[in-house]
Structure formats: structure tokens, C-alpha cells
Copies of this chain bind each other. A is one copy, B any other.
Amino acid sequence: MGKVTLFIAQSADGYIAREDGSIDWLRDGADEDYGYEEFFQMVDTVFMGRKTYDHIFELAEEFPYKMKDVYVVSNTREGHDDYATYLQPEQILPLVNMLKNEQNKTIWVVGGAKLIHYFISAGLIDEYRIFIQPTLIGKGIPLFQKHDHEEELQLTETNAYPDGMLAITYQREEQHH
């Protein structure tokens, strides 16, 4: 069976970006990739929001997810382009279930905040891999936004890097029953 992973960095006070979306406070991973390459190799499918998708083309010379199946959630775009297949929000749940349960895929929810919130509040995250940078930025966009979903997680791994980054892995309890 496949799984849905949230692999993401946050500040010590729980923010994934400043209020304007910037991540200038975040270490760039040039010296230490915090296991990103190893994780990325295992990913089959990536999900991202439309703004995040467009933003990647402003930042990167080459689209970094070319070797993956890419789904971009959009209310307005349809079909596909050279890199991604577009889908409506209501298509997320059946597609995730199909990819996980029938195709055994490892799915990474890249972002942005809105899509992450959708996955968390729908209880769709099987594995949280949260990297806490020891910086207080004071305000910003929180990783966890208010919702009505409550659940127990299982802490399965922690790793404190020499530079103070702390990796925490949680699995959904269901996976262990």
C-alpha cells in the first residue's frame, strides 16, 4: 500500500513561511539536505497547488519534478500541460485513494499552505516528516491551520542535526494496527 507524506520545514514557532509567503529565514539545504534527496528518490507522485506550481517556474531554470507524476490542483485550469495534470479540488480524494490503494504510490504533498491544510484537515496525511529550524520568526503562515479533525499520531523517528535542525517523523496510528 502506498502512502501520503508531508515532508516540510517549519520555524520553531510553527510557521512554514512569512505572511507574504517568503522563506528567506529558511536554511537553503546547501550544506545539509536533511535527507531530502533520499526521500525524493522514493516519491512517485507530487501534489501541489496552482500558485506553488506557477511559482516554481519563476524560481527554477529547470522544472525539478520532471521525473515524477505531477498533479496541480486548480479551480480554473483543466487537462494537462508539459509537466503536470490539472485537477479540481473534489478530485483529490478519489485520486489519492486510487494512487495509494491500487497503485501503491508514494505521494508527496509539496504545498502551498492551502493544499497542505486540505490534506491535513481531511486526515489524508499518513506520514508527517517535519523539520523544525531553531528560529523564531514571530509571525507567518502556520503549518497547522484551524480545523475539526483530531487524531493520535505515532512518533517513529527523531533526528537532531548538528546545525540544530530537528527532524520529527510521525505516522498515523492506523498504519500500526
Contacts and interface: CB of A to CB of B under 8 A. Distances in A.
Nearest to A123: B136
Nearest to A132: B168
A13 interface: yes
Nearest to A170: B134
A135 B164 contact: no
B138 A149 contact: yes
A-B pairs, top 4 by smallest CB distance, nearest first, are A13-B144, A155-B164, A134-B153, A139-B146
Interface string A1-21: 000000000001110000000
Interface residues of A, number: 34
Nearest to A120: B136
A147 interface: yes
Interface in A123-166: 128, 132, 134-139, 142-144, 146-155, 158, 160, 164-166
Nearest to A144: B13
A137 B150 contact: yes
